[in-house]
Amino acid sequence: MIVEVVVDVPTMQTDRRYDYLVPERLESIIESGLRVVVPFGPRKVQGFVLAVKHESSVNKGKLKELADVLDGKPVLTQELLELGEWLTDETLCFQVSAYQAMLPAAMRTKVIKQLRLLTEVDKLPSAIRPYFQTQDAITWETLANERKEVLQHVKSALNEQLLEWTYVVEDKGRKKTERITVQLSHVNKDEGLEQIPKRAKKQRDMWLFLAEQGGRYPSLSLIEALETTRATLKGLMDKGLVKEIEEEVYRDPFLEKDVERTEPLPLTIAQQNVATPIARSIEENRHEPFLLHGVTGSGKTEIYLQAINRVLAKGKQAIVLVPEISLTPQMVHRFRSRFGSKVAVMHSGLSVGEKYDEWRKIHRREVQVVVGARSAIFAPFENLGIIIIDEEHESTYKQEEAPRYHARDVAMFRGRYHRCPVILGSATPALESYARAKKGVYTLLSLTERVNDRPMPTVEVVDMREELRGGNRSMFSEALFSKLKQRLERGEQSVLFLNRRGYSTFVMCRDCGYVATCEHCDISLTYHRSNHSLKCHYCGHEEPMPKVCKSCGSEHIRFFGSGTQKVEEELTKVLPEARVIRMDVDTTRKKGAHEQLLKQFGQGEADILLGTQMIAKGLDFPNITLVGILAADAMLHLPDFRATERTFQLLSQVSGRAGRHTLPGEVVVQTYSPDHYSIELVKQHDYLSYFETEMMYRRQGGYPPYYYLTLIHISHSQITKVIDVSEKIVRFLREQLDDRAIVLGPVVSPIARINDRYRYQCLIKYKNEPELSRILREIRQHFLQETSRGELQVNIDRQPYLFM
Ligand code: ADP
Ligand code: ZN
Ligand code: ZN
């Protein structure tokens, strides 16, 4: 038996399949999708079995044997194996990187492999029984020298679920097993009692208690319940009445333990019109992509929940993607209260071990629904019935490192494979998505009103230039201030949103205008109040806050800009009676802090929730009647063709937090560009006009959805090398591509240097370029092989969202 393996050595030279011989003893265990250990040069490395075969073009005598197998059940299904090939092709990544992206990080760390008994030992085939006579788990290594027949029995025991293949992952400081005391099966209650002397009262009590509990109980709780010590338990063990086993417990990622169940709401007519075509696609096992365009508060989530209900009733599974920052406890709560323990959750706030546990619940088919951030799109479900991407316009669905994939594309691949619907939901769809819906590539479903005739909030746009002219130098306009005050008087709640990007705190000299920048990157340093230092957000460089200007020596060097801390300070000055909860990276660093703060706000422990992007989405509190946006145009002028789109989307999202229930909502938007169409049209809640206007600009500028883009990034520590390579690449592209394709550059990247590496880029705009994949592959191959040790980096992004 021979296997094709892709090895975990992500380099250009090793990006191919290698054949390995399967030692006879492992033949019964091996199948494709398993992780294995193989000799590779002088080392042993991890790899994935892509295929099993009996012939190789390599001479059999030259083939090496694989060293070990790491899984008892494939971690990559046949579908995921195919998806990996597709990803490799589409995003030009190394094949092994595609597979690694599908699995939790814990699977790359060292783990102890165990075989665990799931049943009575007598039920095992006699060949493997001896191993489990005295213990419930053995390590895989114990069987290292066993004959093939024995492993065959192991495999069938695994298949029949008599044994289970588990891993012990080292996850610092968190226990993941629990000791359980178990009554040995050959003694009954009375026999046991006879063996315990009358004076050993504690032991007798414990024995009886254990018998009452059905013969098994967690040891710690047992000792606690009987107010005794371990010695008592030890006494029973010594008499051969009980044994202790270690049982695996999942790390629980939920702080909230018991979730109240909710029932499906009767759908409104508008919701029914949307739910019906989705239901049809589910019932007919048909792949159909839907774009669900529904204003904030129009009941999209309820549609998702009921569609999932249908999918579960058919015995199938569901993936729900939500952007990382809107993966709020509130959002998770809505799914858990409907589907209880059927739900796994995956997001970056979980520890490595927790993520791994959540993944394993899916792999073991213990859950049917996963709610997660981008990478949850790879959940190893085998019978998918629906994929939902909420807030589909969010750029977090694009991964900015290899494999540079967009979750939307992966969703479509999986939807086609499983013949199931894919729902893209948003109040402000990405331009590309809405354009596709208009062309009929996606089925457009619209919810134009909020549930039960609740009005959209009224939006007032305040021109901050006028405020300044009128003598108001505070960061709150008259209008916002008086409305905040009013809310305090009425006992209602407000949300204040600060656009993070507009308010980085940089340090500048008032005399000469010098701005403190990182010495390794061409980017200004950010002031951190906590330790009075300056930090680079790109390379991590840190230095103390200077006392004098490095350029002119003046002492008038200050930090500028205003973060959430500063807004908070000002709030306490002008509205001292207001109770404020601040949510930003600083206050939510601790695990569970995010959840805690929102809970406090939900319980009315504060009047104002002040925060950055992380409060823009997913919040649904009945008492919020005012939303204030402090700097609406902060990101309008970024060098990115999507800047206006992002502004419109963000403002619409934030506004959507107000008046979602019975109380009507108001929004105050503070800006220096009140006439810009992206701000004007938020006021009117008019996505369609926004779409038409933006499409006109995209057509003029030659941007998506009229053109496809590919961005090539070139970086090296020597600037001459970067320029040289960039120019060669551009020349090659111009030769190879169709005349209608536009190659822009090479130009210096907006951030010209990061970590002492100089950065250049070029952008390809094209409509139809069937050869592009091959051409890009050649570029990568050529330039990466030319230089050694990866000094030169050429990154190719087929769907760029970041132009920095
Ligand atoms: P969206 O996801 O579009 O922002 P939600 O699903 O959060 O909207 O719905 C907004 C509010 O309306 C929520 O409080 C939700 O519980 C409520 N809601 C949704 N559908 C219904 C319905 N059919 N009947 C009553 N209330 C509903
Ligand atoms: Zn730096
Ligand atoms: Zn100066």
Question: Distance between CA 747 and CA 763 in Å, rounded?
Answer: 9
pLDDT at 208 over 80: yes
List the beta strands (DSSP E) in 574-623: 580-583, 608-611
What is each CA distance from 614 to 29, 233, 328, 366, 583, in whole angstroms? Answer: 47, 50, 9, 31, 8
Question: Distance between CA 341 and CA 343 in Å, rounded?
Answer: 5
pLDDT at 604 over 50: yes
Which residues fall inside 5 Å of ion ligand 2, going by CB?
A: 518, 520-521, 536, 538-539, 541
Report, as an integer, the average pLDDT of 672-701: 92
Output the pLDDT for position 173.
34
pLDDT at 727 over 50: yes
pLDDT confidence bin for 562, thresholds 50/70/90: low
Question: Distance between CA 501 and CA 634 in Å, rounded?
Answer: 7
Q: pLDDT (tens digit, 9 = 90+) per residue, 446-457?
A: 999 988 788 888
The two tokens of residue 41 are 């040069």
Q: List all residues 6 or more positions away from 700 whose beta carbon is below 8 Å from its beta carbon.
A: none
207: alpha, beta or left? (left if phi > 0; alpha if psi -120 to 50)? alpha
Output the pLDDT for position 354.
84
> Which ligand sits closest to the CA of 513?
3
Report, as an integer, the average pLDDT of 663-670: 90
pLDDT confidence bin for 109, thresholds 50/70/90: low
Q: In this structure, are residues 328 and 373 in contact, taking their beta carbons and an 8 Å threshold? A: no
Report, as an integer, the average pLDDT of 8-34: 90
Residue 620 Cβ < 6 Å to ligand 1: yes
For 690-729, give one letter per residue: b (16+ CB within 10 A) or e. Answer: bbebbbeebeeeebbbebbbbbbbbbbeeeebbbebbebb
Report, as an integer, the average pLDDT of 557-568: 74
Q: Please indicate whether residue 505 or residue 391 has the higher confidence score (pLDDT).
A: 391
CA-nearest residue for atom 20, ligand 1, is 299
Q: pLDDT (tens digit, 9 = 90+) per residue, 321-341?
A: 998 766 667 788 889 999 988
Mutate to test the pocket of ligand 1, among 265, 449, 450, 451 (most ligand atoms within 8 A of CB): 451
Which residues fall inside 5 Å of ion ligand 3, going by CB?
A: 509, 511-512, 514, 549, 551-552, 554
Q: What is the share, in percent, of the chain residues with pLDDT greater than 90?
A: 43
SS3 category, 605? coil
pLDDT at 411 over 70: yes
Residue 294 Cβ < 6 Å to ligand 1: yes
Mutate to test the pocket of ligand 1, among 263, 302, 452 (most ligand atoms within 8 A of CB): 302
Q: List all residues 6 or more positions away from 295 whose beta carbon is below 8 Å from its beta carbon.
A: 427, 447, 448, 449, 450, 456, 656, 685, 687
420 marked among binding-site residues: no
Q: 73-77, 312-316, 734-738: which has the highest mean pLDDT?
A: 312-316
pLDDT confidence bin for 725, thresholds 50/70/90: very high
pLDDT at 667 over 50: yes
CA of 631 to the centre of ligand 3 (A): 28
Average pLDDT of the chain is: 87
Single out the residue of 74, 55, 71, 69 nearest to residue 25, CA to CA.
69
Place of tokens 């997913």: 618
Report, as an integer, the average pLDDT of 245-267: 72
Place of tokens 């939901």: 425
Question: Distance between CA 259 and CA 340 in Å, rounded?
Answer: 7
Residue 267 Cβ < 6 Å to ligand 1: yes
Output the pLDDT for position 492.
94
pLDDT confidence bin for 803, thresholds 50/70/90: confident
C-beta neighbour count of 30 within 10 angstroms: 19
Output the pLDDT for position 693.
96
Report, as an integer, the average pLDDT of 720-725: 92
Q: Which domains does the chain have, with CATH numbers?
A: 2-108 (3.40.1440.60), 111-171 (no CATH), 177-248 (no CATH), 269-452 (3.40.50.300), 458-505+561-698 (3.40.50.300), 708-797 (3.30.70.600)
Residue 203 Cβ < 6 Å to ligand 1: no
Report, as an integer, the average pLDDT of 276-283: 97
Output the pLDDT for position 786.
47
Residue 297 Cβ < 6 Å to ligand 1: yes
Residue 298 Cβ < 6 Å to ligand 1: yes
Place of tokens 């050959």: 186
Q: Please indicate whether residue 424 or residue 234 has the higher confidence score (pLDDT).
A: 424
The size of the chain, in residues, is: 804
The helix/strand count (H/E) of the chain reads as: 23, 34
Question: Distance between CA 233 and CA 478 in Å, rounded?
Answer: 71
> Which ligand sits closest to the CA of 330?
1
What is each CA distance from 73 to 49, 352, 701, in whole angstroms? Answer: 12, 21, 51
Q: Please indicate whether residue 784 or residue 495 has the higher confidence score (pLDDT).
A: 495
Q: pLDDT (tens digit, 9 = 90+) per residue, 147-201?
A: 788 888 888 888 888 888 876 654 433 446 678 888 887 778 888 888 898 888 9
Q: In this structure, are residues 358 and 352 in contact, taking their beta carbons and an 8 Å threshold? A: no
Output the pLDDT for position 504.
54
Output the pLDDT for position 726.
94
CA of 523 to the centre of ligand 2 (A): 7
CA of 427 to the centre of ligand 1 (A): 13
pLDDT at 234 over 60: yes
Q: List all residues 6 or more positions away from 181 whose beta carbon is below 8 Å from its beta carbon.
A: 210, 216, 217, 218, 219, 222, 233, 236, 242, 243, 244
CA-nearest residue for atom 25, ligand 1, is 265
pTM, entire model: 0.80
762 marked among binding-site residues: no
Q: 439-448, 649-658, 668-677: which has the highest mean pLDDT?
A: 439-448
Residue 302 Cβ < 6 Å to ligand 1: yes
List the beta strands (DSSP E) in 470-575: 493-497, 507-509, 526-528, 533-535, 542-544, 557-559
The two tokens of residue 278 are 């989705």
Q: pLDDT (tens digit, 9 = 90+) per residue, 66-101?
A: 988 888 889 999 999 999 999 999 999 999 999 999
Report, as an integer, the average pLDDT of 9-17: 86
Residue 219 Cβ < 6 Å to ligand 1: no
Output the pLDDT for position 326.
61
93 marked among binding-site residues: no
Residue 659 Cβ < 6 Å to ligand 1: no
